[in-house]
Amino acid sequence: MAGAEYLDTAQGRRLAYHRTPGKGPVVVFLGGLKSDMEGTKALHLEAWAQARGQAFLRFDYSGHGESSGRFEDGCIGDWHEDTLAAIDALTEGPVLPVGSSMGGWQALLLARARPERIAGLVTIAAAPDFTEDSYWAGFSDAQKRQLEEVGQVELPSDYMEPYVITRRMIEDGRDRLVLRAPLPLPFPVRCLQGTADSAVSTETALRLLEHADCPDMRLTLVKAADHRFSDGPCLALIEAAVLDVLGAG
């Protein structure tokens, strides 16, 4: 496989990416917090797109994977800027974001910032507003005090080393919330959510479904699927959701 290419952004960050030419809309994979573009879902979708002759893009946010920067220095707004830079510089015409976990939040922010570019949207265990509704809401008084005094706290993860959550990430997240104000999504949206997901609750998926203003939005709950959502049946569901949006858009 060819090595990654790199995009230098206006903010001085260097983003690693892989781009597949083909017919539009361009399917763009938006990964989760501390994940990268070499994950199972991203690579599976890339191979699927290549087999179809579909244009496809995967990239690493700053502080993730092969891109520049440290994770601890980043925040939702930085990764939103990265997403906009990648979309603006590396794609043309309609795009179909596929957002996983934090990437689901990024996909919604992208839809808010570039509505004219979005052909449709697929989310996988979308985690909108998680810095406020999961992290901050779940912090003890001692953790909130530590965040104020030290500037960061560590949270255990089921999947990797602890997450370092900074005060900047929490404060910036409050400027990026999407479930507190109108959220127009005037295109087909398909949401996938596992019922055994320990990171994002089914309640979050239902809240997004209720909140969004969308004429064609569907949520599929998959019994016993976890947050990874990357076994064979789940990958097939992701394919089907993208195809559904391509047909409906």
Among left, alpha and beta (phi > 0; psi -120 to 50; other), residue 63 is: left
Catalytic residue at 211?
Answer: no
Distances (CA, A) of 101 to 50, 89, 110, 147, 182: 24, 24, 14, 24, 21
Inter-residue contact 105 to 130 (CB < 8 Å):
yes
Active site residue 227: yes
Number of H helices, E strands in the chain: 9, 10
What distance in Å separates the CA atoms of residue 126 and residue 78, rounded to the nearest whole number? Answer: 18
d(CA 133, CA 126): 13
Query: How distant, in Å, are the alpha carbons of 25, 88, 107, 216 from that of 94?
Result: 5, 11, 14, 18
| 3-class secondary structure, 221 | strand
Side chain identity at 121, as an amino acid letter? L
Q: Which of the residues 101, 129, 133, 226 is marked catalytic?
A: 101
List the catalytic residue out of 60, 133, 197, 226: 197
| Residue 73 annotated to the active site | no
Indicate the residue type of 198.
Answer: S
Task: Indicate which residue of 129, 226, 227, 230 is catalytic.
Answer: 227
* Of 112, 117, 6, the residue nearest 59 (C-alpha): 6
Measured at the CA of 174, the angle between CA 173 and CA 178, to 5 degrees, comes to 85
Q: Which residues are catalytic?
A: 101, 197, 227
